Structure 1
Amino acid sequence: MYFYTPTIESHHTFFLLSEEESKHAIRVLRLQGGDIIHLVDGRGGRYKTEIVDPHPKRVSLRVLEVEQDFGQSAYHLHIAVAPTKNIDRIEWFLEKATEIGLQEFTPIICEHSERKEVKIERLEKVAVSAMKQSLKAYLPKINPAMTFSKFIASAVEDTAVLKGVAHCVDAEKKYISTAFPKSGRYTVLIGPEGDFSEKEIEQAMATGFIPLSLGGSRLRTETAALASCLEVSLLNRD
């Protein structure tokens, strides 16, 4: 079982769990002294530890082994997606994408967006839970929501990133498998329920975003975002 401990460092020989994690370990999981648990810092560090003092408010742990870059991905995927009116659908996407492999997430506010605000704290909790459940040591970076134009302007600055925009307009597009090479840094834009506006599509393409197709079906926003994660993961599978 994994516990998220972002403050742990590789030089630590002992560590105290937070009150919340301690309560979960002792009151819920019924762990005892001598039991082995793993800690993850969200930055690739995995720590094998032994419970020394099973205190329900401050579990004391002895660090036995440290692994850095545990489960490090060969690629970096940044999904920028317009948040859906029902925020549960974006939370569902983030949960599944974290399990599959997502390194960065940005909510973008578009012309056709029905939701203009996003609670980042809630999304972070969803991602942490998914990271622990899927036995990963990397937590996706979750950025504050920003407007489409601001995001495009910031994306232009990083020329090392391969960029794509998935939209529903009938036009020439490429599949991710042919648009992107393996082991790259990728950014994929996914629009709102009403799709990107023509102006936004033109703006993205004018700044180097490749038009992408996710198949012949018209997908929901969260489905399109998850399909992009799956395609990138399959592209980079050995």
Structure 2
Amino acid sequence: MDISPEVTQREEYKIFSSHIANSDSTETTLEQFSKYTNSSLSNDKLETHLRETWNSILHIASQKPHSSEQQDSLVKLLQALVTQADPLNDSNGKAVEIDGSKVWQDLPLFGQQVRECWNFPDDQEVNKKTRDAWINVNAFIARLTATAVNEHGGERQEYGALDFSLYGIWSLRSALEEELSNLPGKTTIDASIGAAAVWILYAGPAIKGLSESEKSFSGKVAKPGFNCKDKEWRGYTKDRWQLWTENLAQTEDMVQDGGIKELVKKAVETMKS
């Protein structure tokens, strides 16, 4: 994961840390954040400010346990940014856009920052801190996706910027369609399996709905993993969901950490229910 620890020195990080540490109201945090954003706009530093904002949120999410109220709080704050934050206008009263995306409705650059941190070092044995951070950030992005996609696989239009369902395929594919024994160590295996499990725990109904509605993606971004290379999958499918259900149950014996074993058990129960 590529989230610089230097982000903790930024004002954006301090605002969001205060929000979850002190249970600040959403309205209070949005007001404080808006004031800081307006100063960034006047200083022509908006894009830098946005990247620091998203990095701050992602860093906090990676450090908070996936089941924590702090993650819930961050999800709700992003929802509020999309639907409640005052539109950002320039000096001429025109709505500010970046690459055609409105601030805040479309969360410009957020997707780019998520993609930049989506680089798990699976070519080496990781430590427990890296393992937990990877599982936590997967859970956070899964939570956002569950906000954006309903149980029938349909997108809630107002939260379209929070739909990262493709990332769910990437994590599930890594753990359930590749040869886990090829990974360099037990902690790395735990991280891969744990990441897949939290996607099911926090976005299971949405993922099942996407599978039943056969949502596909362009090109080969959602292609099958090596162990399923004979398949023609380009997204979510019913038989892919079935394979994930079967394979996730089989991964439990490969997990060394007791907490992650419990995650897997709960995820399998969710898939079978």
Decide: shared fold, TM above 0.5. Answer: no
More strand as a share of residues: 1
* Relative contact order higher in (CA < 8 Å, ≥ 6 apart): 1
TM-score between both structures, scaled by the size of structure 2: 0.27
More helix as a share of residues: 2
Tell me which structure has the larger Cα radius of gyration: 1
TM-score between both structures, scaled by the size of structure 1: 0.30
